[in-house]
Chain A
Amino acid sequence: MNAEFSGEATPFKAASLWTLAFKELRETLRDRRTLMTLLLMPVLVYPLMGLVLQGFFLPSFAHSEAKFGYLVVLDTEQDYLNFQLSLPTNRRYAITTASPRLPDLLEPNGQSPQKSGPALEDYEPLEYVLLEHLDLKNRPKSIEDAVSSGVADVGVKLVQHSSEFTEWTLIVRDGSANSQHAAETVQLFLTERNLLVAREMLQRLRVPFSNRVGFSQESVASTMPATISIVAIIPLILTLMTLTGAVYPAIDLTAGERERGTLESLIAAPLPRMRILAGKLVAVIVVALLTAFLNITGMLTTLWVFQMERLLFPDGGLRLMAFVNLFLLLIVFAGFFSSVLLAVTSFARSFKEGQAYVIPVMLLAIGPSLLSLKPDLNINGMLAVAPLVNIVLLAREVLLGSATLGSTIVVLGSTTIYSILAITFAARIFGTDSVLYGSSGSWKDLVSLPSQAQSVASESTAMLCLALLVPGTFLWNGLIARMRDFGVEVQFPLIVLGLVLIFGVIPLAITTFRRVRIVSGYALYRPHFLVLIAAVLLGIGLGPLLSQVIIESLRLQEWWFGESNNEALVSAAREQVAKWKLIPAFFLLPGLSIVPGIVEELFFRGCLFQSLRQRFRPWTVILMTAIIFGLFHLITAGSLGLSRFLPTMAMGIVLGYVCYRSGSVIPCMVLHSLHNLLTVSIVYYREDLAAAGWIDAEAESIPVTVLVCGAVASIVGFFLLKISRPDSSRTIPEESLDRP
């Protein structure tokens, strides 16, 4: 036997992160599929797109607002020379002999500029060109054609010319503000030329001349609704590019590794799982960065080659600082997406399964990335810590030069935390029993009937229910929104019906079809009376505490970011409550509190919780269901109900704990319904309660006495839960769980 292994434990240095990352990179970058993703877009697609853009679209917008200046077209060589003489001689113009291309520049008196001459911005926004010099495939036949087709902004035609007087006709495109502005600019210059001549004549006659009117210009900040800048699209481009680069290596290094059979050898080696995942993360980030970098380089090179960079960067073209900013932002995007994708693909047992998991992530990522197009959306409050939304908004503000240090720190800090959480989660899942040795399911598993009755829903059944709940809720909410003309009398019963159908009927139908026993599958056991008392106490006590938490977090965000839309939220809520008051309290209160309390618990702590308990430890399941519960309320609350996420998730943790301790979903239903009932009742009867002196309608905090009572009730509730023994006969024994 090897002497090294014969004695006590010897110091052992596990392979470094670099060793693991280097192996992953070497393998990934040699794979021709990676190379295709890496090189295809920048080398082939962008130049082709450039050609198409130039060939088909450029003539129509090459001389639009984004070009150097207004383009004036002239018919003959003589007109061209006379026009040059008609312009003020003290200004710099751009002339061109082959449009479209960057214009040649002209100094006053027709001189060419020095090499280190003035910047392009110092030239007048006027460029003039001879019709026959227009370097276009389908050159217009006349200057009228050039103007009407949009190739030129204004045509200038000589009417008469003598040593004393030259007269021009300006040809303008009908209905075009741009063409009209171009003509006005030409008129301004021609008028100025007349003025210069007049001044020279007066000087020659020795008549003193001074301006009677002067003016200067000052800038003020715009309070008009902001318009969309081209920069707002860049976060979406960054998202797409980093996602494109990260998707393939993320799947390949997790699900692909399992499929090829190399995962087992790696897990059998003395390596911390976190380090394995960190090595993979480095590799995925590097590939994502390379892909994005090559894409951006390819895109910018194409723009430069085809002289289109001013379309994207109208203010003086691409500068080094913008490129550096872009690259730094790429690192943030690549880090975020790589960790999220690794977390998602760590679940997958095959490449195909990995692809199936990644597609929804990609689709979900596009939504928040489009938020940068909303000009009035700024990094503040929950948005600064909302995953992806925060980095999208930061990217826009960095590129616009309006990012602040405080918001940058919050965004980068929270994004780093999300990435670490994602990788920690991936490390827990990656290489576990179920991923290493579990078999991949198929659609057949979902539709085939089990041979015998099931005590709880399988994961695939629970996930199918969850997958149907989200679009079901969206569709139903859409239907309710379309019914607004019919008033709350129609909307309210529809809301209640939707809750029952979506959270009750759909899961029950699916689980019944899959032969899941209703009582065990939904934990519909009779609870211990102590647990019921605890649920009642928590249902009463948690309301004020959670409300105060929300108030404090809104205050904190107002203090930190200096602005808030709290008042708007409050007034919108009050408006909604006023409408709801048309429904009698006898129907409204149970409909908005008890019904959701029962049916939501039936699914989240019933079907989903019991299903996940087959594989995971109690606290993992409590957290997972709480996050799903929070996310569900987040995405279905319309207009991103970010403020609902944290309190809903906190409530989900309490409900999960109650379910775990009692082994029954009924106390959760009691707690949830009671909490809803109290909250809705206070809002509904707010004015009456204030009139009776029970509450202060204008108070900005929950009264201390109420908070203390809530805290005491909650503490007693938790204590009762703690002393109540979980009923082991209702749960799968700990030691038999096939869990990570």
Chain B
Amino acid sequence: MISVHELDKYFVREGERFVAVDKVSFAVSPGEVYGLLGPNGAGKTTTIRMILGLLQPDHGFAEVGGYRTSEHPNEVKRRVGFVSALSGMYQWLTGRETLEFFCKVYGLGLTQAKQRIDYVVQLLRLDTFVDQRCGILSTGQKQRVNLARALVHDPPVLLLDEPTLGLDVVASQTVFKYIMAVKQMNKAVILCTHRLEQAETICDRFGLMHQGKMAHEGSLQELCQKTGQRSLVEMFLRMIETSRTEAVS
């Protein structure tokens, strides 16, 4: 469903070249949750943005449902539901109005839109606040509306970039339950998160990124075998320690 081929991205800041993503490749199948993990600045968000076409890669390409992002950006965008830590809400629209707007944006008819809105409202239990103005909702409620917004057009692919950032334990649990639910719907999901314990339980495979490169890839078991560590947390710490040692030497 999603395939990424040797993606490169570098930026020029103050006249100097800075490599953000360096030859990253991986693939995600329908019904699979792929944990794209790594410390801050590893290049996860840049990779996700390139898959969706929000950033242009300098080399390589990404495909969603057989469509290359660089050639068919709108076909890719139609097939993707996207939630990022930066996603905000229209403060003066209600949750329902926001969902209605995105239904129109994604080309849903009136009847279909109503059915989908009723479905996501029920799935994410938005009924008590969906008719309230988004500006007055709590952080957790806003994120639930955001997740509903990403799912309202029933996309086969979900890109979730730190969807639990700033949420408390209960709200985070809601997000993870949501991911489990969409996995059941046979959707391909890429999840970037720093909640490694939860990631271990819901992700089928992992890509560990560090300094723009894909350091390790595979299932939890495969990663444990490759790295000799017992958990993702240990793998992270080891990866950072190694890079520090290399930098000093």
Interface residues of A (CB under 8 A from B): 1-2, 4-6, 9, 12-16, 19, 23, 26-28, 30-31, 260-262, 264-265, 267-271, 433, 436-437, 450, 452, 454-458, 516, 614-615, 732, 735-738
Contact = CB atoms under 8 A, between A and B. Distances in A.
Helix, strand, loop or mixed for chain A's interface?
loop
Q: Which 7 A-B pairs have the closest CB atoms?
A: A261-B88, A30-B92, A270-B74, A260-B88, A270-B77, A454-B15, A1-B156
B84 A264 contact: yes
Interface in B82-123: 82, 84, 86-93, 97, 101-102, 104-107
Contacts of A457: 15
Interface residues of B, number: 51
B91 A260 contact: yes
Contact of A269 (B55, B77, B88, B89): B77
A454 B12 CA distance: 11
A381 to B, nearest CB: 44
6 contacts: A6-B65, A16-B104, A23-B90, A260-B89, A271-B105, A454-B14
Contact of B101 (A23, A270, A452, A454): A23
A261 B77 contact: no
B79 to A, nearest CB: 5
Given A265-B87, A271-B74, 5 more contacts: A16-B104, A436-B54, A437-B55, A732-B12, A736-B17
Contacts, number: 124
Q: Which of A267, A452, A615 gathers most chain B CB within 10 Å?
A: A267
B22 interface: no
B10 A614 contact: no
B87 A13 contact: no
A269 B102 contact: yes
B187 interface: yes
B88 A26 contact: no
Given A264-B87, A265-B149, A270 B106 contact: yes
A271 B77 CA distance: 9
B56 interface: yes
Contacts of B1: 1
Nearest to A439: B13
Contacts of A736: 10, 12, 17, 58
B186 to A, nearest CB: 5
Contacts of A4: 154
B107 A14 contact: yes
B235 interface: no
Contacts of B28: none
Interface in B1-33: 1, 10-17, 30
A261 B101 CA distance: 16
Nearest to B97: A26
A27 B17 CA distance: 40
Nearest to B150: A265
Contacts of B93: 23, 26-27, 30
A738 B106 CA distance: 29
Given A15-B104, A270-B74, A458-B15, A262 B88 contact: yes
Contacts of B52: 268
B140 interface: no
A27 B101 CA distance: 12
Given A265-B149, A738-B12, A15 B90 contact: no
A271 B54 CA distance: 12
B58 A264 contact: no
A268 B80 contact: yes
Nearest to A445: B14
A30 B11 CA distance: 39
Given A614-B12, A614-B15, A738-B12, A268 B89 contact: no
B218 interface: no
Interface of B: 1, 10-17, 30, 49, 52, 54-56, 58-59, 65, 67, 72-75, 77-80, 82, 84, 86-93, 97, 101-102, 104-107, 146, 149, 154-156, 186-187
B12 A450 contact: no
B186 A9 contact: no
B134 to A, nearest CB: 10
A450 B102 CA distance: 44
Nearest to B31: A1
A320 B33 CA distance: 67
A9 B92 contact: no
Contacts of A2: 154-156
Contacts of B79: 5
B90 A262 contact: yes
Contacts of A28: 92
B23 to A, nearest CB: 14
B11 A27 contact: no
A13 B92 CA distance: 26
Contacts of B49: 437
Contacts of B59: 735
Contact of A9 (B73, B75, B97, B149): B75
A12 B107 contact: yes
Nearest to A271: B105
Contacts of B107: 12-15, 270
B10 A455 contact: no
A14 B58 CA distance: 28
Nearest to A737: B12
Contacts of B87: 261-262, 264-265
A12 B77 CA distance: 12
A366 B187 CA distance: 56
Given A15-B105, A262-B90, A268-B54, A738 B75 contact: no
Given A15-B105, A268-B52, A736-B10, A5 B78 contact: yes
A579 B3 CA distance: 74
A4 B79 CA distance: 10
A265 B16 CA distance: 30
Contacts of A269: 77, 102, 105-106
Nearest to B65: A5
Given A31-B92, A735-B58, A5 B155 contact: yes
A738 B18 CA distance: 11
Contacts of B73: 270
A458 B14 contact: yes
Contacts of B58: 735-736
Contacts of A450: 14
A737 B12 CA distance: 6
A265 B17 contact: no
Contacts of A31: 91-92
B106 A19 contact: no
Nearest to A27: B92
Nearest to B57: A735
A314 to B, nearest CB: 45
A452 B186 CA distance: 51
A260 B87 CA distance: 8
A454 B17 CA distance: 11
A516 B90 CA distance: 42
A262 B75 contact: no
A385 to B, nearest CB: 36
Nearest to A461: B14
B51 to A, nearest CB: 11
A120 B116 CA distance: 67
B15 A265 contact: no
Contacts of B13: 738
A463 B229 CA distance: 52
A30 B134 CA distance: 12
A424 to B, nearest CB: 18
B91 A19 contact: no
A15 B103 CA distance: 9
A436 B11 CA distance: 14
Q: Which of B11, B89, B90, B154 gathers most chain A CB within 10 Å?
A: B90
A460 to B, nearest CB: 10
Nearest to A615: B12
A715 B56 CA distance: 37
Nearest to A434: B11
Contacts of B105: 14-15, 19, 269-271
A12 B74 contact: yes
Contacts of B146: 265
